[in-house]
């Protein structure tokens, strides 16, 4: 995995303040964006439990030929079905879009793209999730650091698919489906409130030196660097460890 050894890989998290606290603007009619403009982790309980939302509607957008592998989305759905109480079901719709042509993208630019293309917002019983597989790369990337994904709102995340392509499917590199699956599950888990981001810790396992991540280097929520992603993939696909699992359980998940 020559390339991976040369690069640091980041799975980012942007903790934005809630953009609108006005409860009169909280009408959930499927078209009002306000309930979906909150900070990462603030809808953790809504994802995990069926207290309010019985179903989950995922809207996937991809640029040009950067469609995620079918198995990646199936893995995501299986992961969610194992953790989330959604008796009304989890549905995924996919739409192709033209390149926004703004690379390298800042997170504000990604959020602007989202407002242009997103069509699904919460209804009273269905939570909506937006996932963008974008071309180009992230504004803070350098020749030695690449960002593969970022969660930036309560129900929004982006994957930098060109960067994922650059690091997968060559003979010495990870399988693309595996890499896509790790990135998407990691970003989802930030929206599920990990670590200490909306799903309260049952035991202290916060890697405080690296933001909202888990101290266990074998856990999906470990702050990942080049050597670690190699090690993780060599020992099989990373999953959540017992501490992360118990936080999700305590906040209403399975």
| Interaction pattern, residues 220-239, with Zn ion; x per rule: CB under 5 A | -x------------------
Interior/surface letters 94-123, b for 16+ CB within 10 angstroms, e for the rest: eeebeebeebebebebbbebbeeebebbbb
Q: Given the rule CB under 5 A, which of 69-77, 89-97, 117-125, 206-214 is the region that contacts Zn ion?
A: 206-214
Q: Between 7 and 34, whose beta carbon lies closer to Zn ion?
A: 7
Alpha carbon distance 77, 82 (integer Å): 9
Count the neighbouring beta carbons within 10 Å of the beta carbon of residue 27: 14
Least CB distance to Zn ion at residue 202 (A): 11
Q: Between 86 and 212, whose beta carbon lies closer to Zn ion?
A: 212
Contact status: 244 vs Zn ion (CB under 5 A): yes
Contact status: 141 vs Zn ion (CB under 5 A): no
Contact status: 146 vs Zn ion (CB under 5 A): no
Question: Which of 172, 174, 129 is CA-nearest to residue 154?
Answer: 129
**What does R_g of the chain's alpha carbons equal in angstroms?**
17
Q: 215 - beta bridge partners?
A: none
Q: Between 74 and 204, whose beta carbon lies closer to Zn ion?
A: 204
Contact status: 178 vs Zn ion (CB under 5 A): no
Residues that bind Zn ion (CB under 5 A): 11, 13, 214, 216, 219, 221, 241, 244
């Amino acid at each position: 995995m020559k390339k991976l050894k040369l690069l640091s890989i980041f799975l980012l998290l942007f903790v934005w303040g809630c953009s609108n606290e006005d409860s009169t603007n909280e009408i959930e009619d499927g078209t009002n964006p306000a309930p979906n403009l909150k900070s990462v982790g603030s809808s953790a309980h809504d994802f995990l439990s069926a207290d309010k939302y019985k179903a989950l509607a995922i809207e996937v957008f991809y640029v040009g030929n950067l469609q995620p592998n079918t198995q990646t989305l199936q893995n995501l759905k299986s992961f969610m079905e194992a953790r989330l109480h959604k008796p009304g079901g989890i549905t995924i719709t996919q739409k192709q879009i033209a390149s926004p042509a703004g690379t390298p993208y800042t997170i504000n630019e990604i959020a602007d793209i989202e407002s242009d293309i997103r069509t699904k917002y919460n209804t009273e019983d269905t939570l909506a999730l937006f996932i963008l597989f974008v071309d180009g790369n992230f504004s803070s990337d350098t020749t030695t650091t690449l960002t593969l994904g970022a969660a930036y709102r309560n129900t929004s995340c982006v994957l930098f698919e060109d960067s994922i392509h650059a690091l997968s499917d060559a003979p010495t590199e990870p399988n693309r489906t595996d890499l896509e699956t790790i990135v998407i599950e990691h970003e989802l888990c930030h929206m599920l409130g990990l670590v200490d981001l909306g799903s309260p810790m049952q035991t202290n396992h916060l890697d405080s030196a690296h933001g909202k991540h888990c101290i266990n280097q074998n856990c999906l929520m470990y702050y990942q660097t080049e050597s670690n992603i190699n090690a993780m993939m060599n020992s099989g696909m990373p999953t959540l460890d017992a501490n992360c699992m118990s936080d999700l359980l305590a906040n209403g998940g399975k």
